[in-house]
Amino acid sequence: MRRFFAILLTLSIISCSTNDSNYKLEGKALGFAEGTKIFVFTVADNNQPISLDTLTVTNESFTGIYPKSENLSINYLQVENLKGNILFFPENTDLKATIYKDSLQSSFVTGSQQNDSYKLFNEKIIFFNTEKGKSVEAYKTARREQDNLLAADLKKQSAMIAESEKNYKLQFISDNSNSLFAVLLLTEMVSRKEVAAAEATEIVSNFSPKVAATSSANSLNTMIASMKKADVGSEAPNFTAATPEGEMLALNDVLGKYTIIDFWASWCKPCRRENPNVVRVYNEYHDKGLNIISVSLDKAGQESRWIQAIEDDKMDWYHVSNLKGWSDPIAKTYNVRSIPATFLLDEKGNIIAKNLRGNALDAKIASLLGN
């Protein structure tokens, strides 16, 4: 969960003069030497950590006093000479931290609804990670022993664990709609495409007004809006880019009965492995109305490699590239975060399917253009 420190958060620290305007953070630093420093940080709107305090461990304990705020924010603890952080949420109430020297991952802060629910969440995620690790090791063993039947069962088991984890996360978000952490968790799931834009929109609508007003929620809404531009059921955003011959070509100029937008790169091994399948499908169905336009994420200086890969892989269809790698504006518009990535359009330019490859691509095109 440490990846959440990179997400923009609302911060408002108000100076007050009375004790009622402060909250106390008391902690146990189990196993730590006398004088060990514990640093308290918050994350500001400029996405940079701000140091709030430096605490000193005395008799395996530490204490800090901080001003209350009505705004939602996120803080974290960092122990000197140790990697990792302990996340916590100020909620205008006294909090208790427990830090284990031999297991920073198991450390936690409690004393409020957000912190208590986050502790339970972390414990559950550790459980899922343990189960996934066991499944992966068992799968590797089955593969080494060439037990294909067991390997197939273990692969299904891993998929079931992943699905259970996803469902748990969604339920957690639903049950904690007044929690800033719920926004951070949904943001992660949306960015990893574990949740579709339409579903994410419905979830966001149930956030409390206070949570919905945070900069984190605003950033999430912006991400969802970007996803909707290239989601199934939406009209594919038009784009124009240079062909290998240096001419400008637009998506709207190449639409057929059905059109595949194919994001790839000459350096992408999974893309190159998939290309023969795409070539086969194109050759079989092009005369029946299938067009393809490939958008390369090759970078500046890789133009010759891009052109050579087109020839080597016999990709006899439309090609464009801005030669900007992952900074390609077309890829950003379509929210492409990994390749190969494909979008299937109908004759009006509406997206009817995404990320079809292998047999799934063949079957879909056959259902549309086959006899």
DSSP string, 243-280: -TTS-EEEGGGS--SEEEEEEE-TT-HHHHHHHHHHHH
What are the tens digits of pLDDT across the range 196-222?
Answer: 888 999 999 999 999 998 888 998 998
Q: pLDDT tens for residues 80-110?
A: 999 999 999 998 899 999 999 999 989 999 9
Amino acid identity at 65:
I
**How many alpha carbons lie under 13 Å from residue 116 in its C-beta half-sphere?**
7
Residue 70 Cα distances to 92, 93, 169, angstroms: 8, 12, 27
Query: What secondary structure does DSSP assign to 192-242, as a single string?
Result: TTSS-HHHHHHHHTTS-HHHHTSHHHHHHHHHHHHHHTTSTTSBPPP-EEE
* Residue ranges of the chain whose pLDDT lies below 70: 1-19, 45-47, 371
245 contacts 281 by C-beta, under 8 angstroms? no
What is the structure's pLDDT at 14? Answer: 30
Burial 303-321 (b: 16+ CB within 10 A, else e): beebbebbeebebebbbbb
Q: Would the pTM count as exceeding 0.75?
A: no
Q: Look-up: residue for tokens 């500046």?
A: 300
Token pair of 334, please? 């379509």
Cβ within 8 Å of residue 316, ≥6 positions away: 279, 282
Contact yes or no for 32/101 (Cβ under 8 A): yes
In whole angstroms, give the CA distance from residue 202 to residue 40.
35
pLDDT of res. 7: 39
In terms of Cα–Cα distance, which of 151, 350, 137 is closest to 231?
A: 350
Q: What is the pLDDT of residue 46?
A: 64
Longest dimension (CA), the chain: 80
pLDDT at 45: 66
Residue reference for tokens 């079957």: 363
CA 78 to chain centroid, in Å, comes to 24
β-sheet with 351-354: strand ranges across: 248-250, 240-242, 318-321, 290-296, 258-264, 341-345, 351-354
Q: What is the pLDDT of residue 47?
A: 66
Q: End-to-end alpha-carbon separation of the chain, Å?
A: 50
Pinpoint the alpha helices (H) of the chain: 113-144, 148-175, 180-191, 197-204, 209-212, 215-228, 269-285, 303-312, 329-333, 359-369
- Provide the pLDDT for residue 216: 87
CB 27 within 8 A of CB 38: yes
| CA dist list (Å): 84 to 5, 79, 106, 317, 368 | 11, 8, 11, 49, 52
Kindly list the structural domains of the chain, giving each domain's residue range(s) and its CATH number in brackets, ordered by start: 2-109 (2.60.40.10), 115-228 (no CATH), 240-369 (3.40.30.10)
Distance CA 22, CA 147 (A): 62
